[in-house]
Amino acid sequence: MTKIAIVIYSDTDTMEALGKVSNAFVLANEAIDHGDDLKIIFEGAGTKWIGALEDEGHKMHGMYKALKNRITGACKYCAQAFGVKSQVEKAGVTLLDDYKDHPSMRNLVADGYNVLIF
């Protein structure tokens, strides 16, 4: 079984970033279709996507909603730093704090995940 960790760092403020999140979600769906072990993590400015994608009017809301139960979590430190911690909590997304209030990228690698950054 392939182990894939999709980590979304992209901010919410450009079309390029929207494209990256869209491509991350397409990969996530492909991984699900193939029965892969999948983790989706929002890190850095990427934590801002949770609140944006919770908006039912957002063009990516449907894809997000379909994948929401597959989201591993969002960086606790970065959600706080970018002012979106309450949005992440309201969305029911786990705040990750494995290493100094951040998700551990090292543990993903040590556990054999292919870490893909968007």
Cα 48 to chain center, whole Å?
10
Residue 1 has pLDDT above 90, yes or no: no
**pLDDT mean over 1-22:** 97
CA–CA dist 22, 17 (Å, integer):
9
Looking at residue 25, its pLDDT comes to 98
Q: What percent of the chain has pLDDT over 90?
A: 99
Q: Where are the domains of the chain?
A: 3-117
Cα–Cα distances (Å) from 97 to 56, 91, 94, in that order, read 28, 17, 10
Over residues 27-79, the pLDDT tens digits come to: 999 999 999 999 999 999 999 999 999 999 999 999 999 999 999 999 999 99
| CATH topology for the 3-117 domain | Hypothetical Protein Ychn; Chain: A, (3.40.1260)
